[in-house]
Amino acid sequence: MTVMSMKKRFEFLEHTADLYIAAYGKSLEEAFENAAYATFEGMTDLDKVQPKLEDTVEVEGHDEQALLYNWLEALLVKFDITGNLYSHFKIANIKKTSTGFKLKAKIWGEPYNPEKHLSKVGVKAVTYHQMEILRDAKGAVTVKFILDI
């Protein structure tokens, strides 16, 4: 399978009950950033979420799929705990370690306001079901994953 054009950040794929997402990037970091963006876009209109608050996220995973899962799960947990929606994501780095991979990122957003932020779907969890990380010959990356809604 080839990686799609880099013109789009992500797309929602056909799925009967959950959100099935393909996120794209010129690197693994960019694909993970776009996966985070797609996750929150599934929840609300991110054009209305201002980057007023900054936070940091650090996660580890034994492989790239576990890292993607832990990254998205950490973002959902932050939303659940803080009530903040996030609309900007910048991964400083993804490093290979002796036990797998480590990701460090900064995220920006603002508190959820029901009068300002349209509620689309409630995301319950990230899943490993149909999760894929694909690379093309030029190094571009597509990550596919399902969010349980």
Q: In this predicted structure, what is the pLDDT of residue 15?
A: 66
Q: How would you classify residue 7: left for phi > 0, otherwise alpha for psi between -120 and 50, otherwise beta?
A: alpha
What's this model's pTM, rounded to 2 decimal places?
0.91
pLDDT computed for residue 1 by the predictor: 41
- State the virtual CA torsion across 26, 51, 74, 71 in degrees, nearest 10: 0
pLDDT at 12: 87
SS3 114: coil
What does residue 105 show for φ and ψ, rounded to 5 degrees? -150, 160
DSSP 5-70: PTT-SEEEEP-SSSEEEEEEESSHHHHHHHHHHHHHHHHS-GGG----EEEEEEEEESSHHHHHHH
Closest to 146 measured CA to CA, from 7, 35, 61, 30: 35
What's the rounded Cα separation, in Å, for the pair 98 and 14? 37
The pLDDT assigned to 126 comes to 96
pLDDT, position 14: 78
For domain 18-148, give the CATH number.
3.55.10.10
Per residue of the chain (149 residues), what is the pLDDT tens digit?
444 445 689 998 876 678 999 999 999 999 999 999 999 999 999 999 999 999 999 999 999 999 999 999 999 999 999 999 999 999 999 999 999 999 999 999 999 999 999 999 999 999 999 999 999 999 999 999 999 99
Question: Which is nearest to 26 in space by CA: 1, 46, 12, 7?
Answer: 7
